[in-house]
Amino acid sequence: MTTASLESAPKPSRARRASGRPPKKKLPWGSPAVYFIALIVIALTLAPVAYIVLGGFRDNSQLTVDPAGLPSPWRVSNYGHVLTSSTFWREFANSVIVGGVTTLLVIALGVSASFVVARYKFRGRGLMFGLFAAGLMFPITVAITPLFIILDKLSLTDSLLGVILPQVAFGLPTTIIILVPFLQAIPDEIEEAAAVDGCSRLGFFFRMVLPLSLPGVLTTGILTFVASWNSYLLPLFVLSKTSSFTLPLGIQQFHSQYASDTAAVLAFTSLSMIPALVFFTAFERRIVGGLQGAVKG
Amino acid sequence: MSETPQAATALESSLGSTTVGGGAESASPSPAGIVGRPPRARASWRERLEITMLSGPAIVVFVAFVILPVFAAVYYGFYRWKGYGPPTDFIGLHNYKVILTDPEFHRAVLHNFEIAGLSLLIQGPLAILLALLLNREMRGRSIIRVLVFVPWVVSEVIAGTGLGLMLPVNGAINGLLTKMHIFGHVHVQWLGSHLGLWTLMAILTWKYLGFAVILLMAGLQNIPEELYEAASIDGASYWQMQRSITLPLLGPTIRIWAFLSIIGALQLFDLPWIVWGEFNVDRDGVSTMATYMAHYGPRTGLYGYGNAVAVVLFIISLIVALFYQRFVLRRDISGSVTDGGKR
């Protein structure tokens, strides 16, 4: 596997070009049966999402009388109320802060640690990689109770930092394992050439490694952000003041507070899923490409 | 489970590339996955400084928030402790005795394993077919891809809230079925104890199938195009090619997905907790070890007990992981090593 992972890492970009699809050429139509199956699958996958989004345009009497109906008439007041409520925007901001800072820190710490593992030769390097790889065996679900106690001792409960730092820690193993093959795949010649031109190891890191590992960085960054945006268990344990709630907690809170106002809950819920969806949709191709190196058996 | 996508991909590559992941028995000092590059001169002080500067922060954060809690859990698990003051009431293995004899915990463990098995049986075939379908070069493929992944990107809380509103007896699902005028007036108790587990399986399939598909699609990209060209020259049909080329070569990816799926099922928390609610999961047959842990942990003030549950959950996951690695993944790892050598 050792060599295999090394060889496979640069493949994403090469494979796409080599698979020889001129980007402009139009793809052929598939058979109707294939589209029919695809249509059914899409209908099933989108139905719950459609229910949430459309439900936000209805009112509660519509929802009670005909739970599976379409909005008639369409009402925008639910969305209006959510968009003008300070609670939504505060929770939105908290989620953006947590997601953004988590992603930046995971990338910063992850890339530099991966660089060390991939390109420095020293005793304990294997141990370091093993340590991070072993981290995959400790999902946050298992660690949540003691983690809460530790955060409590550090007075980090009820602060966004108390969510960010554990998320960074639990995001590092993935990041490092995806990035190390990318960094190892950078040919030694480039580093030597850089050294001849008077570039230090660190200079090489900033000028060559960061740009060259961008596909891997993007993949891990997107996955980290989406996971953080959706994360529920950790904030549930760590944050108890409503002022520090992130959106997933906000949805739950809103749901229990306005249990009878289903339409408002649906509007709130559908607005809070937009950022992760936009983010993922924009970068979907890159994720498949970035994972390729990792999937390689 | 919200962490799944990430942990998933990573685990997969770590398992594929090293035996370190599970702390496996082969504790040779040089881990696979890192290739010996020609050694430089002995590390100078400057190099050591760089190593410390670059990797120090990551190691500190990682040890403090990942490694330390696990040891803390083992320690606190031996105490009866309400969470304030230092734990003084050492009770040895008492917490573990209570956990292992609690029928409610037994039910939770059983559900975990049922969910793990059913997930493989239901999601596996569906994911392979869907990945094959989405891998065909045809118009509209990219839009179909994006739409299929939507449930995976939507958070568990959003999905859970929406589904929690759709599934009750007077909810949208029954409403829709009634409207179809096939089954008459439908009032199925989707969330009740009879159907609970199956409803949960449907929800999990809906939510996580996209992840399986994305992984398998990435695996499909790695199968050399030439094999298909050669096969089609030999007159092989589409399905023959899938059976004799795609499936065997996709084997490692499938086995790794299966591993991630099993571990995810053992750690399942969000969806039962949100759709059914803290106090209904046990009654409706969808409790899991993690919901048990959350219910009897800090939220009820039983800190020592909650930690002991965490340790049990961890040990069960670890045993399953090591077992799987030993008997299923091992051949992938050894296979790819020899394969890598041949090329």
Mean model confidence pLDDT for chain A: 79
A296 contact B CB<8A: yes
Give the torsion through C-alpha atoms of B148, B150, B151, B157, to 10 deg. Answer: 180
- Taking the C-alpha atoms of residue A60 and residue B273, their distance in angstroms, rounded to an integer, is 25
Q: What is the pLDDT of residue B335?
A: 41
Cα end-to-end span (Å), chain A: 7
Residue found by looking up tokens 């500067």 in the block: B53
Question: Closest-CA residue in chain A for B87?
Answer: A149
Cis amide leading into A73 (omega within 30) = yes
**DSSP code string of B275-294:** HT-TTTTTTTT---HHHHHH
Residue from A173, A175, A183, A222 nearest A5 by CA: A183
Q: Helix, strand or coil for residue B80?
A: strand
B30: pLDDT confidence band, cut at 50, 70 and 90?
very low
A272 contact B CB<8A: yes
Q: What is the pLDDT of residue B27?
A: 36
- Name residue B80's beta-bridge partners: B89
Q: Can you give the pTM of this predicted structure?
A: 0.78
Statement: residue B181 has pLDDT above 90? no
Residue A137 token pair: 């065996």
Statement: residue A24 has pLDDT above 60? no
Average pLDDT over residues B179-197: 78
Statement: residue B113 has pLDDT above 90? yes
Q: What is the pLDDT of residue B331?
A: 60
Count of Cβ atoms closer than 10 Å to residue A48 Cβ: 25
Question: Closest-CA residue in chain A for B40?
Answer: A121
Count of Cβ atoms closer than 10 Å to residue B229 Cβ: 10
Q: What is the pLDDT of residue B301?
A: 76
Query: Comparing A175 with B186, which gets the higher pLDDT?
Result: A175
Question: Closest-CA residue in chain B for A124?
Answer: B29
Statement: residue B17 has pLDDT above 50? no
- Taking the C-alpha atoms of residue A140 and residue B65, their distance in angstroms, rounded to an integer, is 10
Query: Comparing A205 with B132, which gets the higher pLDDT?
Result: B132
Using CB atoms, pick whichever of B51, B269, B318 lies closest to residue A120.
Answer: B51
Statement: residue B105 has pLDDT above 60? yes
Q: What is the pLDDT of residue B300?
A: 76
- Taking the C-alpha atoms of residue B63 and residue A154, their distance in angstroms, rounded to an integer, is 15
Alpha-carbon Rg for chain B, nearest whole angstrom, is 24
- Taking the C-alpha atoms of residue B197 and residue B113, their distance in angstroms, rounded to an integer, is 12
Nearest chain A Cα distance for residue B40, angstroms? 7
Query: Comparing B8 with B207, which gets the higher pLDDT?
Result: B207
What's the per-residue H, E or C state across A91-122? HHHHHHHHHHHHHHHHHHHHHHHHHHHHHCCC
Phi, psi of B80 (to 5 degrees): -95, 115
Nearest chain A Cα distance for residue B251, angstroms? 9
A210 contact B CB<8A: no
Average pLDDT over residues A196-215: 79
Q: State the count of interchain CB pairs (< 8 A) between A and B.
A: 418
Phi, psi of B17 (to 5 degrees): -110, -20
Q: B14, A3: Cβ pair inside 8 Å?
A: no
Average pLDDT over residues A104-129: 84
- Taking the C-alpha atoms of residue B221 and residue B215, their distance in angstroms, rounded to an integer, is 10
A261: pLDDT confidence band, cut at 50, 70 and 90?
confident
Residue A110 Cα distances to A206, B6, B88, angstroms: 14, 13, 39
Q: B176, A68: Cβ pair inside 8 Å?
A: yes
Q: What is the pLDDT of residue B126?
A: 92
Nearest chain B Cα distance for residue A104, angstroms? 13
Burial class of residue A123 (count of CB atoms within 10 Å of its CB; 0-12, 13-18, 19+): exposed
Q: Can you tell me the ipTM of this complex?
A: 0.78
Phi, psi of B20 (to 5 degrees): -70, -35
B200: pLDDT confidence band, cut at 50, 70 and 90?
very high
Query: Comparing A213 with B339, which gets the higher pLDDT?
Result: A213
Q: Chain centroid to CA A194: how far?
A: 34
Burial class of residue B228 (count of CB atoms within 10 Å of its CB; 0-12, 13-18, 19+): middle
pLDDT digits (tens, 9 = 90+) for B234-285: 888 888 888 888 888 888 888 888 888 888 898 888 899 988 888 888 888 8
Q: What is the pLDDT of residue A292?
A: 59
The residues in A 145-174 lying below 8 A from B, measured between CB atoms, are 145-150, 152, 165-166, 168-174
Q: Helix, strand or coil for residue B208?
A: helix
Q: B35, A120: Cβ pair inside 8 Å?
A: no
User: For chain B, percent helix, then strand, then coil, each to nearest 5?
Assistant: 70, 0, 30
Average pLDDT over residues A280-289: 73
A101: pLDDT confidence band, cut at 50, 70 and 90?
very high
Residues of A in contact with B312 (CB under 8 A): none
Residues of B in contact with A269 (CB under 8 A): 158, 161-162
Residue A115 token pair: 């660089």
Cβ–Cβ < 8 Å for A60, A262: yes
Cβ–Cβ < 8 Å for A137, B321: yes
Query: Comparing B158 with A12, which gets the higher pLDDT?
Result: B158
Q: B21, A128: Cβ pair inside 8 Å?
A: no
